[in-house]
Each structure stands twice: as structure tokens, then as C-alpha cells.
Structure 1
Amino acid sequence: MSVLNTLKERGFIQQLTHEEEIGELLAKEKITFYIGFDPTADSLHVGHFLGMMVMAHMQQAGHRPICLIGGGTAMVGDPSGKADMRKMMTTETIAHNGERFKKQMQRFIDFSDDKALMANNAEWLLTLNYVQFLRDIGVHFSVNRMLTAECFKQRLDKGLSFLEFNYMLMQGYDFLELNRRFDCIMQMGGDDQWSNILAGADLIRRKEGKLAYGLTFTLLTTSDGRKMGKTEKGALWLDAEKTSPYDFYQYWRNVDDADVEKCLALLTFLPMAEVRRLGALKDKEINIAKKTLAFEVTKLIHGQYEAEKAQQAAEALFGGAGKLDNAPTVAVTADTIGAKLLDVLVSTGIIPSKSEGRRLIQQGGLYVGDAKVADPDFLLAAGLFENNSLLVRKGKKNYHRIIIK
């Protein structure tokens, strides 16, 4: 089976520029392709996960990925899918974030012996002569056509800066530059990048007189259309310091039943026959599929050891075994005794804010041990701790342990 068929079967592909040609190309030749990553944080998050899985499938089929860090474009900001203009970043911050990305990608992508490349578009964008750029590149872009692009249309009512209006030209130029430097002939990205990808392929045709190709993959959403990867603490990060392996595991363990098969297909390397078998499980048996999903995804991001620890912690907690060694744990000092529970939960990051904590209490979703907390002013009494340890539960399955140092 060709890699295009693999990507189709697993549900990745949304749009292609030349479906038949791409299918033949990927089956018969080894190509260089690229996916861009916006370095606006010092960690990738689950929204980047699909792109990394696509790169991994492509590399396993013998194709060479370029991971393009948007060091130049991040200084302008991509308006795609954004209601507001992004904050501008320094070159030092962008470089630091790019290095962090590469470390996380190395779990998926083999960068040895030029099997994959990491590039930074700051290398060519930050040294451009603006007038020359307009003459060489800007002349090939129609403003009328650009304004029909979805990424611009949704911002026109609120206001689109000229700074951001340049983004499509810059991304198109990235594709051209990668084509010239590395013979990169395909750009891939989330479906919100379709207009930018088309612009780059068209620019290569106009400047170099040859074909370039584009492919978009689906965005990671739930069955009812909501973006996946949002938690009460914010984004679901791939950095263990931002989202613990246990919390990461629990996120996938608790996905909706309707999303399990799709997530298994997109976010694991399990054979599709096994994905379909697990996805067909019903009622209580679907928990078998959810446990498999949580373990496989956590193993990919954090490694076998951390996945096993997270799994064991979850089984101990939910199985009533009482083994909390691997549960998310925070340490507090002895003078915390007598403080308000909500204050402690906020200060330790177990809940994001007091208002969120009050809402959780009002909804009957906060427990200390097996006792439901009904009072927002509930105090942490010494008698609640057993061997200097206290278990707090949010909702049905989200456990944390508080220990006294």
C-alpha cells in the first residue's frame, strides 16, 4: 500500500492539489516535503500532533521531511484561524522554541544522515530587501484573489493589518526557497493552511516553471466539531513539565466514545484492523479501546516507561488499590494545615482559579478522599491527612495527591 493510501485509510487527508499525480509520485519516487511549525511557545501541543504523525508515516515510506520553524513568519503572525493579531516575538525566543521543538520531534522523526531536515525561515526572510521582494515575489500575487482566502475573509470585519497581509507572500516564498535549496516539491499542513499552500505551489510554477504539490490534513476535532487538546489548564502540551504524562494519559483515557476510533487511527501506529476492532467495542468494553489509546499515545510522546507509570497510576486509583505513587503529586509545607482548600489548590496548580474551584464545588465535582466538598471555604484540617498524604478528586476521574514535606 502506498503512503497516500495509508494516509487516506487512517483519515488524515482533507484536500490535495493533484490527487492522481501525487499518488503516483509518492508510490514511485522518494520526495522531499515540508510542514511548517509556528514557534510561539517553547513546546509543541496536541494540535501539532497530526503534523508529526503525517511526517512519520511519510518518512517510514522513504520520503524526506523538512520541519520548517517559522522564525521569520512568527515575527509577523499567521492570521489563519485567529480572531486577533498575534504578539510579536524576539529572535532569541523563537530560536529557543525551535530547539525545544526538535527535541520533541525526535521521538517521531529520524534526523540522522539527512533523513529529515530542520530549517528556519528566518535564514532567508530576515535578510530580504523589501523593494526587491515586492518586485520579484509580490508581482505574482493578486490582491483580489488573496481577499477571497478564508484566512483573510474572517479577519476583514475585525481588522487585518498590512503586516499580516504579507503572511501569504512570506509562506509562498518559503516554499519557493525550500524548492530551490532542497528540491522540496510538496507542502503539507492543516486544512486551515490550504490558501497559503496553493499560493506557494503557484509561485513555484510561475518562478521556476515546474509543478509543486500541496496536501492538507484534517484538524484534530471531536465528533461535534470542537478542537481537541483543550483542558481546564489550557492546551494539552507535549512537554512533561507543562502537562504531566499522567494528565496526558488521562486526557486520552477520557475522550468521548465517538472519538476513540478516529484518535486510534490518527494518533497511533496500530494496524487499521486493530483500530477497527477496538473502535467497534460498545458500552463498557469501549474502555478497553480508551485504555489502549491512552497508553499508545502517551508512549509515543513520553516513552514506554512514562506510559506504563501513568497506566499503573490510573489503574491503582480507579481500581481502588490505593497505590498513589505515580499519581500527580504536589508538596506543601506544614503551615498549609488550616488554610482554605481552594487557596491551596490554586497555588499548587491543581485548579486554574478560585472561580473555577467554586464552580466545581457548586456542581458537586470536588472531593477530598471520598467526601464531597460542599463549602468553598472548606479548610484543610490535619486530620484529613493520612501519613502526610491527602487525595483530591476533580470530577469522576481526575486525581491529585497533596503531601506535606
Structure 2
Amino acid sequence: MTLDPSLLDDLQWRGLIAHSTDLDALREAFGSGSVRFYVGFDPTAPSLHMGNLLQILTARRLQLAGHTPYALVGGATGMIGDPRDSGERTLNSLDTVKDWVERVRRQIEPFLSFEGGNAATMVNNYDWTASLSTIDFLREIGKHFPVNRMLARETVKRRLESGISYTEFSYVLLQSMDYLNLYRDHGVTLQFGGSDQWGNITGGVELVRRTDGGHVHGFATPLITKADGSKYGKTEGGALWLDPEMMSPYAFYQFWLNVEDEKVGELLRVFTFLSRPEIEELESQHAEKPFLRAGQKALAEHVTTLVHGAEETERIKAASAALFGGGDLTGLSPDTVGAALREAGVTTVDASDGLPGVVDLLVETGLAKSKGEARRTIGEGGAYLNNQRVVDPEAVVTGDDLIAGSWLVLRRGKKSFAGVEVR
């Protein structure tokens, strides 16, 4: 197993280290042998999201550089949830959390290698927490946490006036105990996570020092925000989920394709495995001709391929081209065309009394304000059904026109299009 000596420099160039315990000590550790590290994921939803993806990809970078990952799925901490600014979390049942644990495990596994000299290991903190008595927890863990330091945590301070339960207040003890257990049982000496976890990470580092006299490391990745400073990971439909059942791969691809120009370079560094020369070349192309969106296209393709696979990404690219008149719509899969059209906006048509005329559809979808306008559009050659120009104002949809049995794509001119679902 060969260690990559440039790992820390690469992490810093990519902007992946927002906080660290001691970078010089970490550099020395990276150069001394395969470092066993862990990163945790709480199953507080049935899917991971964009923020979790950043941590998964960072773990993959470390493993590719020769270090050994422990991916922790928090069956115990997921029962409680880290304190958040908006108020107390809803506590989920044990059965719900167990189901989510398995879903999260399956989402993480494809990104890491579980073979070789630095094979990854999946762990669940429920295994060492469930049988621990309250007395033992308070004696062995609680006594090492000064309350004044816990109160100084930013999230806790913001919640003191509105109220915070002891359950959420004690979360840092549980996560710190994870680090101690992994240090003792597996020799783990590095934890990383998002910058919102920095207080928990340093809590674990301090607990290992206080209890066992161990010297361990931690770093935090930055919070990824939009150009205006607001959080990424939220779309109009909710979080940027990795589960294709919760967010279609087409919608996922479109999110990355539409990121702001100012953020392209940062997101290419953080979310892709493109090399520094490749990213700098894309940044140069983007700066010279931003209207070509070379950076966004590369970003969307690489991240979607990482999460949903190369075949799905190619189907999405074909759908995107076809919807805007650049390809054959009839070859698209039902799932892909359905997801693509739902993102664009779909008009549902009841065909129980027969299939509609194109003029009526142009009006129903809003592509034309009236039947007269629709007829003029057709007469001027500006109306398309499934990328084929409509020349007859009396044209009626036939069964052969239906894509995947139920879909139509109407377009007016080059850029205005609408989806129709025929039922």
C-alpha cells in the first residue's frame, strides 16, 4: 500500500479543511503510515443528502491516498439527533431508525473499497451504546465534560433562551464516546466531519486525551453555501437527496447544471475527483466563455456519475438534449422522460373521450394564450410535437405519438417547451 504524500496539500487546495486540531501533526501522521479515520452519518432521514456526500467523498479521497476508513452509521445518535437552531427534533422509533440505518449503509458502501490493505469497515454506534447503563455512562463519560464548556457551544447558546432538552444537550457526549470506542477497539486516530460538527469532533479529541492520554486528530470541512451565503442542499422540492426515489437522477443532474457561475470552481474542487490541472482548465474556459457553461456541464456529469452511475448519466444527458430539440425522444426510458418532464412542469390531459388536438394542447400547456395564437404559431412553423414540426393546424395526437405510452413534448420555438401526461 502506497501513501500519497500530497494528500494534505490537495485537501487544502480543494478548500476541504475549515478547522483542524493541528495540521503539522496531521501531516506527520499521514506520512507515517495508514491512518485509521472515521466519519459519522446519523440516520435522521431515509436518505443521505448533499452535505453527507461531501463527507463520503472526502473519506474516499483519504482511502485512495492509502488511509483506512471507518464509516459510522449512528444507530444510537440517530435516535436523538444533534441539536439544531430551529428547535427540538422529533424522536423516531427504534424500528424507523433501524430501517434508515440500513438505507444509509447501502448508500455509503459503493463509494468505499472493502478489500485490500486499507479496507473500509462499517460500524454502528448502537452496538456499544445500547447495553451501557446510565450510571456507567455518567461515571465514565459524563465526568469528563465541564458543563461550562458545553454551554459555550454555539448551537447550545442559541438554544438556551428558547429551550433545549437534556437529550439534545447530551449529544456531544455520545459522539465523543464514539471516538473513544473506535480509538480503543480499532486504533482510530482521526475524525472529520462538517464544520457544524466541530464542537463534537473536538469533544471526542479531548475525551480520548482525558481518559486514555491518547493524542488524536480532527478536522472539519467547510459549510458549502450559495453565492449569497445561504445554505446549499435545499431545492424547491426539499433537500438534495441521494436516493433516486426521493429525488430523480434527472433533477439531481439539473441541480448541478444550474449552479451559479461564482460557485463552479469551488464545487468542482469539492465534489469531483478531477485533477488540479483539469479543474483549472475548466475554470479558465468558464471565465473566458461562461455562456458555454463548461464548468457546470462537467460538474453535473461527474457528480451524477458518482451518485447514480455512468449509464443513468448518459440517459439524463440524452433526455436533456432531446427535450430541447437535439435528439430522439422515442428512445428515452419511461422513468427518465417522466422525471425530466415533471421537472419542466407537466399538464395532465384526460383522454377518455379521445386524444386532443395540437392547438388545444398548446393552449392548455400555456405555450399559446388562445387557439388563434396557437394556429398562427403552427402556420409560422414554430410549433413542435415530440421535436417534429407541426404543419397542420387541425393535427390531432395519435397513439403512436405517445412516448413510453403516456407522454408528449410540446415546444414553441427553440426554448419554450412543456410536458403533457395523457391519461
- TM (normalized to structure 2)? 0.80
1:316 to 319, 322, 332: 322
The answer on whether the counterparts of 1:15 and 1:215 sit within 8 Å (CA) in structure 2 is: yes
Distance 2:18 2:63 in 1: 20
The answer on whether the counterparts of 1:369 and 1:391 sit within 8 Å (CA) in structure 2 is: no
Question: 1:304-336, CA deviations, whole angstroms, 9 ceiling, x for partnerless residues?
Answer: 100111111112223454626255417999983
Distance 1:291 1:260 in 2: 10
Q: Secondary structure at the match of 2:98?
A: helix
The answer on whether the counterparts of 2:348 and 2:420 sit within 8 Å (CA) in structure 1 is: no
Deviation at 1:86, TM superposition (A): 1.1
Distance 1:309 1:402 in 2: 20
Match in the other structure for 1:404: 422
The answer on whether the counterparts of 1:191 and 1:218 sit within 8 Å (CA) in structure 2 is: yes
Deviation at 1:398, TM superposition (A): 10
Matched, 1:43 2:61: no
**Paired amino acid for 1:287:** R
Match in the other structure for 2:338: 329
1:197 to 187, 201, 226: 201
Matched, 1:109 2:112: yes
Match in the other structure for 1:207: 211
Q: Which runs of 5+ in 2 are unaligned?
A: 354-361, 371-393
Distance 2:46 2:9 in 1: 34
Match in the other structure for 2:124: 120
Deviation at 1:112, TM superposition (A): 3.2
1:242 to 246, 250, 261: 246
Distance 2:337 2:147 in 1: 52
Structure 1 pair 403/2, CA: closer, same or farther in 2 (3 Å)? same
Distance 2:191 2:369 in 1: 52
Structure 1 pair 232/73, CA: closer, same or farther in 2 (3 Å)? same
The answer on whether the counterparts of 1:257 and 1:286 sit within 8 Å (CA) in structure 2 is: no
Distance 1:107 1:214 in 2: 25
Q: Percentage identity across aligned positions? A: 39
2:63 to 56, 59, 62: 59
Deviation at 1:27, TM superposition (A): 2.2
Distance 2:253 2:192 in 1: 28
Distance 2:253 2:94 in 1: 34
**Paired amino acid for 1:297:** V
2:190 to 180, 186, 191: 186
**Paired amino acid for 1:247:** A
Deviation at 1:212, TM superposition (A): 1.1
Match in the other structure for 2:388: none
Structure 1 pair 136/247, CA: closer, same or farther in 2 (3 Å)? same
Structure 1 pair 305/335, CA: closer, same or farther in 2 (3 Å)? closer
How many residue pairs are counted as aligned between the two chains? 369
Matched, 1:391 2:397: no
- Correspondences of 1:3-402 after superposition (within 5 Å): 3-79=7-83, 81-112=84-115, 115-280=119-284, 281-282=286-287, 283-321=289-327, 323=329, 325=332, 327-329=336-338, 336-337=350-351, 371=367, 387-388=401-402, 389-391=407-409, 401-402=419-420
Distance 1:138 1:172 in 2: 10
Distance 2:255 2:56 in 1: 19
Structure 1 pair 253/138, CA: closer, same or farther in 2 (3 Å)? same
**Paired amino acid for 2:215:** L
Root mean square deviation of aligned Cα:
2.9
Distance 1:315 1:138 in 2: 58
Distance 1:196 1:3 in 2: 24
Q: Secondary structure at the match of 1:214?
A: strand
The answer on whether the counterparts of 1:175 and 1:187 sit within 8 Å (CA) in structure 2 is: yes
Structure 1 pair 144/334, CA: closer, same or farther in 2 (3 Å)? closer
Structure 1 pair 102/75, CA: closer, same or farther in 2 (3 Å)? closer
Deviation at 1:369, TM superposition (A): 6.0
Distance 1:286 1:198 in 2: 44
Deviation at 1:106, TM superposition (A): 2.5
Deviation at 1:373, TM superposition (A): 7.2
Deviation at 1:220, TM superposition (A): 2.1
Q: Which runs of 5+ in 1 are unaligned?
A: 340-365, 375-381
Question: 1:327-359, CA deviations, whole angstroms, 9 ceiling, x for partnerless residues?
Answer: 5417999983599xxxxxxxxxxxxxxxxxxxx
Q: Which has the larger radius of gyration?
A: 2
Distance 1:367 1:184 in 2: 64
